């Protein structure tokens, strides 16, 4: 056992040395490697084939210049990225993020997570991620169109429905996908609907895609609660964020009988003990693009805490749905103290490693992002299926497929955690189940 520990530590040190300064990527690798020691002990073939070393190195990393002009004719230069991490299970699949914080380390962290998340869905998709340090906030539609066209003018040569299929992420919604798809079609002279997902419903998009990540996270948490003969019914819940994932997390919690009392944005959080009025949040965020504090203009009984910490609000279920590392050790301790029994990660890696340890030690049901928020990419894969068959499914049928996939993900995670002696440790289960699926495919396909 000690030998395997030192080997894994050596691999982790190699990752740090080969990828200096990419702290988010290091964190994502560490979180997976911490689960793999018992797998390597039980199945030495993975060490013999050096699968861990190979899976930590992307198959391809693309970095390129994105020049564009604003409405005043000024020239801007941004940097574009696409990390095609692993194609053992299918074409690379993962979103594009437009945000000023984007750099290679963020994209590699997200792409590495995507390998395992995609594997858990059971769908034939590999892992990748991309984006740019472009900030779309405050930009006109015309400026965003010019940026997206410039971005796709370079990226298109690396894409294809059998090669690499991007989707949206932070800063990339239906508008941006539309502009990029139009440019791809213009350059290639191909209506290749399956090359981008998150498309508009009138031209190849899938119903439920908007709701999928939030709905899926709630379905996963509900499956965790079922193992304790419990459910969302009557539970007080807190959902961080107020974007797409958060909004549809709240919607599905409401459907299942829970009550969400707090939501947030980057400026602060609102608390409404009667339960947040989701229709108002949708109006503020999806239509008017205003701040969450404006909720209190309509509901005088609600409170807004500028710069506040939403995890101070007592709840039984917490759903971090905003961004990475938003919930730390102290937040986790506060949630446990206030009676939290379940946590589902709607965002990518929103809980720090120290925070996850607090939850596990306290016996809190904890759904890691690679499992709990896999509903988004699962529905993207369903969109690819519809595009391939020139078909369009109903909302009810697509949601049924999503629900089945999330139940399957939960089952795989729980069974693997039980096989390795820690039933209910979903971090362990998710990492092992997804790693073994990808690793077995890599071995079968030879040293490539």
Tell me the binding residues for NAD(+): 213, 244
- Give backbone dihedrals phi and psi of 160, rounded to 5 degrees, phi first: 160, 150
Of 45, 72, 108, 129, which residue is the catalytic one? 129
> Which parts are annotated binding residues for substrate?
93, 114, 117, 168, 380
Distance, in Å, from the CA atom of 161 to the CA atom of 110, rounded to the nearest integer, reads: 21
Neighbours of 124 (CB within 10 A): 14
Verify whether residue 293 is a known catalytic residue.
no
Active site residues: 129
């Amino acid at each position: 056992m000690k030998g395997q520990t030192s080997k894994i530590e050596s691999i982790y040190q190699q990752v740090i040395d080969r990828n200096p300064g990419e702290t988010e990527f290091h964190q994502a690798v560490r979180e997976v490697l911490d689960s793999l020691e018992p797998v390597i002990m039980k199945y030495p073939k993975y060490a013999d084939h050096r699968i861990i070393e190979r899976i930590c190195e992307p198959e391809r990393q693309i970095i390129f210049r994105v020049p564009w002009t604003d409405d005043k004719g000024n020239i801007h230069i941004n940097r574009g990225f696409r990390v095609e991490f692993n194609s053992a299970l299918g074409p690379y699949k993962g979103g594009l993020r437009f945000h000023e914080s984007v750099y290679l380390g963020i994209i590699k962290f997200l792409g590495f997570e995507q390998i395992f998340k995609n594997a858990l869905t059971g769908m034939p998709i590999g892992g990748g991620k991309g984006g740019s340090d472009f900030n779309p906030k405050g930009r006109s539609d015309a400026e965003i169109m010019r940026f997206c066209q410039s971005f796709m003018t370079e990226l298109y040569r690396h894409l294809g429905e059998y090669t690499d299929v991007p989707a949206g992420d932070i800063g990339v919604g239906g508008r941006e996908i539309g502009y990029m798809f139009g440019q791809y079609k213009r350059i290639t002279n191909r209506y290749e609907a399956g090359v981008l997902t998150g498309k508009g419903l009138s031209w190849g998009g899938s119903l439920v895609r908007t709701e999928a990540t939030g709905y899926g996270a709630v379905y996963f948490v509900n499956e965790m609660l079922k193992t304790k003969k419990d459910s969302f019914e009557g539970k007080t819940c807190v959902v961080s964020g107020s974007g797409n994932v958060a909004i549809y997390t709240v919607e599905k919690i409401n459907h299942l009988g829970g009550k969400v009392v707090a939501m947030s944005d980057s400026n602060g959080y609102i608390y409404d003990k009667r339960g947040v009025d989701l229709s108002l949040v949708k109006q503020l965020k999806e239509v008017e693009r205003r701040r969450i504090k404006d909720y209190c203009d309509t509901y005088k009984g609600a409170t807004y805490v500028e710069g506040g910490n939403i995890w101070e609000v007592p709840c039984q279920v917490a759903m971090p749905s905003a961004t990475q590392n938003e919930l730390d050790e102290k937040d986790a301790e506060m949630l446990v103290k206030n009676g939290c029994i379940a946590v589902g990660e709607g965002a990518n890696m929103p809980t720090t490693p120290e925070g996850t340890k607090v939850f596990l030690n306290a016996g809190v049901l904890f759904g890691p992002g690679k499992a709990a928020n896999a509903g988004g990419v699962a529905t993207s894969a369903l969109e690819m299926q519809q595009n391939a068959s020139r078909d369009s499914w109903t909302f009810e049928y697509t949601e049924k497929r999503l629900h089945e996939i999330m139940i399957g993900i939960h089952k795989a995670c729980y069974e693997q955690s039980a096989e390795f002696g820690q039933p209910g440790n979903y971090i362990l289960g998710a990492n092992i189940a997804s790693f073994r699926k990808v690793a077995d495919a890599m071995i079968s396909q030879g040293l490539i």
